[in-house]
Amino acid sequence: MRSGLRDAIGRMAAAAAIHLRGSTPGLTTLEYVIGAGVILVILAAAIVAWNTGLAQRIGELVQQLLSG
């Protein structure tokens, strides 16, 4: 599941980068706000995925400590 999320985030980031690079000079404020929003959503999704993985690993370690 993590690789699927990573792939989706990568595709979204690549699409945003292509759009921003291919734009005509003089981007409007709205385009900057949309671009920043996309970047923040991608960053938030990556942080949530990373934290979920950490929580699972910590839970596994605690179970190993309690069982042994």
Write down the mean pLDDT value for the chain.
84
Length of the chain, please?
Answer: 68
Instruction: Please give the model's pTM, rounded to 2 decimal places.
Output: 0.51
The pLDDT confidence band at residue 61, using thresholds 50, 70 and 90, is very high
Domain ranges of the chain: 2-67
Q: How confident is the model at residue 11 (pLDDT cuts 50, 70, 90)?
A: confident
- Residue 15's alpha-carbon distances to 9, 12, 43, 57, 67, in angstroms, are 10, 5, 15, 32, 47
Residue 46 CB neighbour total at 10 angstroms: 14
- pLDDT band at residue 16 using 50, 70 and 90 as cut-offs: confident
